[in-house]
Amino acid sequence: MKKKSHKAKKLVRAMLLLLLVITTNLVAQPATPIKGESFLLNGVYYSNIDIEFVFNDEYLEALNSGLVFDIDLDFLVVNVRKRRLNREIGKLSQKYTLKYNAFTQRYTIFNVNTGREASRSSVGSALQYLGSIRNLPTIDDSLINIDQNYQVYLQVSTRAQGVPSWIKTLTFWRDNLDFVTEWIQWPLYD
C-alpha cells in the first residue's frame, strides 16, 4: 500500500513540476504583438503597430546587469491569392537595441535602421516606447495592385547580445533570453 501512495506522490510531483515549467514558459513571453494597421499617404503605405512588452524578473536582471537586447520587427507584405500560391511582395526589418546605463540609470532605445536614439528613466517607459510604433513606412504604393488582396505579417523577436552559445547550451532547461512571437497579420487596406 505504501508503494502505491509513494508512486502516486512522485507522479503528482512530476506533474506539478511539468505544469510549473509550462506555465513559466507561457508567462515569460517578453513581447506580444497586439494590433497592426496600415494606411496610405502620399504613395506609401505606413503601419502603426502596438506591441506589449513585459520583461519578467530574469529579463530585467539580465538587462540591468549589462546585457543588451536586440529587438527585431520582421514584416512581410503578401499578396493573398485565391486558387494560387500567395506571393510575397516585400520584406522589411525594423531593428532596435535596448540597454541600461548604470551610471546614468537610464534605458536607451537605439533604432538601428535610422540611427535615432531615445532615453527613458524607467524600464516600463522604455518598453512602452518600443511597443508603440507609429508611421512606419511599409511598402510603396507602386508595388500594389488595388484590385488584389494584401496582408501585412509581423513577427517580433528579442535576443540577448553577448551570451555565448555554450552558456545557452548549458542552461537549456531554463528560460532562454531569446524569444520569437507568432506571426500576426492585418489587411494592408480595407
Does residue 7 sit within a domain?
Answer: no
Grid-cell match 501512495, residue found: 5
Q: What is the pLDDT of residue 27?
A: 46
CATH code assigned at 68: 2.60.40
Does residue 16 sit within a domain?
Answer: no
Q: Is the pLDDT of residue 15 over 60?
A: no
Distance, CA of 123 to CA of 125 (rounded, Å):
6
How do residues 143-189 score in pLDDT, each as one tens digit? Answer: 999 899 999 999 999 988 876 665 555 555 455 678 888 899 999 98
Does residue 3 sit within a domain?
Answer: no
**Mean pLDDT of the 42-67 span:** 91
Q: What is the pLDDT of residue 47?
A: 95
Does residue 89 sit within a domain?
Answer: yes
Does residue 34 sit within a domain?
Answer: yes
Does residue 24 sit within a domain?
Answer: no
Please give the residue range of the domain that contains residue 80.
30-187
Query: Which residues lie below 8 Å from residue 102, measured CB to CB, with a gap of 6+?
Result: 64, 66
Q: What is the pLDDT of residue 103?
A: 93
Mean pLDDT of the chain: 83
Q: What is the pLDDT of residue 28?
A: 56
Does residue 6 sit within a domain?
Answer: no
Q: How many domains does the chain have?
A: 1
Distance, CA of 17 to CA of 24 (rounded, Å):
10
Where does the pLDDT of residue 83 fall: very low under 50, low under 70, confident under 90, or very high at 90 and above? confident
Q: Is the pLDDT of residue 105 over 90?
A: yes
Containing H/E element for 21?
helix 2-27
Q: What is the pLDDT of residue 4?
A: 61
Q: What is the pLDDT of residue 23?
A: 42
Q: Is the pLDDT of residue 45 over 70?
A: yes
Does residue 143 sit within a domain?
Answer: yes
**Mean pLDDT of the 9-17 span:** 52
Q: What is the percent of the chain where pLDDT is above 70? A: 78
Q: What is the pLDDT of residue 24?
A: 42
Distance, CA of 189 to CA of 138 (rounded, Å):
12
Q: What is the pLDDT of residue 138?
A: 94
**Mean pLDDT of the 5-32 span:** 54
Amino acid making up residue 107:
Y
Distance, CA of 151 to CA of 109 (rounded, Å):
29
